[in-house]
Amino acid sequence: MFYGAMKLSIGGSLKLAFRPWVEGLENIPAEGPAILASNHLSFSDSFFLPAVLDRKVTFIAKQEYFTSPGVKGKLTAAFFKGVGQLPVDRSGGRGAGEAAIKSGIEVLERGELFGIYPEGTRSPDGRLYRGKPGGLARVALLSGAPVIPVAMIDTEKVQPPGKVLPKMIRPGIRIGEPLDFSRYHGMDGDRFILRSVTDEVMYKIMELSGQEYVDIYATAAKRQIADEAKRKAEEEKAAKAAGLDKAGKQPEA
């Protein structure tokens, strides 16, 4: 009931305000389990996609959304539970990964839609990054559910990271045809098979989204960006301490 109420209020408001366009809705099955594997550009992805679907879709979300202290934390946790989000520990470790896989399989065993972001985190620059094989591929092979590639388009422009107020930009969603990986049944322990399944899904997402593909993990890219920003800050600090301008020259007296 709460999911339905949240979908009506939030989903209806999103559709009215942003008018997202959608292609390929016919690829979502009317019933039965399916995995929606999407690129991840914005926090709002988990709201725009459910807003345009008739069926409930359950995503996994970082555990911090469910464990923050205080009244605000409790309200946030209630909200994410109400919109069908499942908490998962993204700090690392095999136990956290297994818990996420188990949660996804339970959703699919109920005959529902399970949403997952194979990149594991939001893209730092709008490009499509390498998919992590431990989640998507294992859930697909263990459950036998079809994988439906999804491309979110321009959602990062609606709600850029760090921005509070959204921009009134019309985002889009492209939904591809279901992918069947039943030929790999029983091979969920083979890392080469897991990589092959993941890469096939990411290629389809790339075709749908038109994004530039980068063959590294998004988490690694974020570290590189952070390290580069830190290096530049240290260089500017050192130059300032030495009395140099940004071009590295001693300012004229």
Per-residue pLDDT of the chain (253 residues), as tens digits, is 556 666 666 677 788 888 999 999 999 999 999 999 999 998 888 889 988 998 989 987 777 767 777 776 676 666 666 666 777 765 555 655 788 888 899 999 999 999 999 998 899 999 999 999 888 999 999 999 999 999 999 999 987 766 777 788 899 999 999 999 999 999 999 999 999 999 999 999 999 999 999 999 999 999 999 999 899 988 888 888 887 655 555 555 5
Rounded CA-CA distance 33/191 in Å is 24
Contact 61, 116 (CB under 8 A): no
Contact 6, 78 (CB under 8 A): no
User: Residue 212: in which H helix or E strand, if any?
Assistant: none
SS3 213: strand
Taking the CB of residue 121, how many other CB atoms lie within 10 A of it?
16
- What global pTM score does this model have? 0.83
- The CATH number of 2-215 is 3.40.1130.10
- Alpha helices (H) along 86-154: 94-109, 136-143
